[in-house]
Amino acid sequence: MDLSQNSLSGYVPKEVFSLSSLSISLDLSSNSLTGSILLGAGDFQNLASLNISNNMLSDEFSSSLGGCTSLTVLFVAGNLFQGGIPQSLSSLRSIEVLDLSRNNLTGEIPAYIHNFLFLLNLNLSFNDFEGEVPVERAFRNASKVLLDGNSKLCGGVPELKWPKCAIRNASNRNKVSHALVLVIPISCGVLVLILVLVSVFVYKRRHTKKVCLPDSSTRETVSKVSYQSLYRATDGFSSANLIGSGKFSSVYKGILEETVIAVKVLNLEVHGAIKSFMAECEALKSIRHRNLVKILTSCSSIDLQGKDFKAIVYAYMVSGSLDEWEVCDPALLHDEEQDHPELQDEEQDETRSKNLAATAGSQANHEKLKDTLVAIFTIGIACSKQLPRERMNIGDVTNRLYSIRDTLLGSIGRKVTGNLEVI
């Protein structure tokens, strides 16, 4: 039946598919047919040639097309079909000419096509196929295969002149290598952290005396504060609330959330103030002593002029003795007489020697801890080299870590006395 090159439009009547007596060909090409012509095509089990090219047929291929097992010629070019080539076409074992060009087909070229023993001409050009072109049977002869207009294809026989495909094994090796680069440093870091925590815990259990805690009211800490909160608490850092000042900082009295506080504001324009602030914050995290004032919180922000602002907030002591208070975190003392809010004028001479002695021990322990962390991080970096041969042997890592632990605990054991506790 030949109905080609007419002005037929609309859907193909279902009655056409009931003509099971068709055993030679059906040609509906070069019309204006729409819809899915392949629906019901499985009824043509004896059809040898089907030509539906140059229409406006759309949707995906119907799997029923695979029922046309006697097809030797199939022309579907110049339509609007989309999606991939269905697996059902693998049953077309007698196919000799297969033309699916000028559609919107996607995906990879099915591997089963190279099993078509009688295939003489394959045209898949001007679609959107991707992946590697097979090299078996029909694909070995470049004159039998047309693949132009599929920019995402690669490989195939050299005559097709497609670019080489990326080597998947190399890609997998790169992925494994990148994974190892991440896993090994993380594992070393976790191991180091566990050893340090266990060592500190064991030391505390065996050697550290318990320190008397202050009452519950002094144990409460102020939540993290902003510059605006401290500005309001001190009446805009008013001179009336100024307790004292030194080379690196000034101290103001204030009221924050009904708590009397002392705010130590760093003078960041002075050379060395930032270094002093960072060293002080590091020290605050590790040591307790009964002769140092409680640190409530800190603030690192921007002031009203857009400049950096850094401050440490202390609990304010009113005419008290430092011997009556425990410090949760120590501060590094500066040489200036009025650089600490915890000291009242009448107490400074009496207590300065105690503070300097306690802080000297704290500073020594802080330096030892810093040196220890540097050594640990050095090991971590050595474990994270990209090339395996450049990484530190795990046995050497273990020995170094044990040596660092023994050195740290031995040093702390010599320097920690009385109520001084490293946490």
Phi/psi at 27 (nearest 5 deg)?
-120, 110
For the sheet with 249-256, list strands across it: 242-245, 249-256, 259-266, 308-315, 295-302
In whole angstroms, give the CA distance from residue 123 to residue 263. 81
What whole-number distance in Å separates Cα of residue 122 and Cα of residue 419?
Answer: 89
- 310 is an annotated ligand-binding site residue: no
Find the largest Cα–Cα distance for the chain.
119
| The pairing of beta strand 49-51 with beta strand 25-27 | parallel
User: Comparing C-alpha atoms, which of 413, 375, 392 is closest to residue 192?
Assistant: 375
**C-alpha–C-alpha distance, residues 123 and 99, integer Å:** 5
* Torsion from C-alpha of 7, 11, 13, 17, nearest 10 degrees: 110
Sequence-distant (≥ 6) Cβ neighbours of residue 402 within 8 angstroms: 195
Task: Tell me the residue type at 104.
Answer: N
> Annotated binding residues for ATP, as ranges?
264
> Annotated binding residues, as ranges?
264
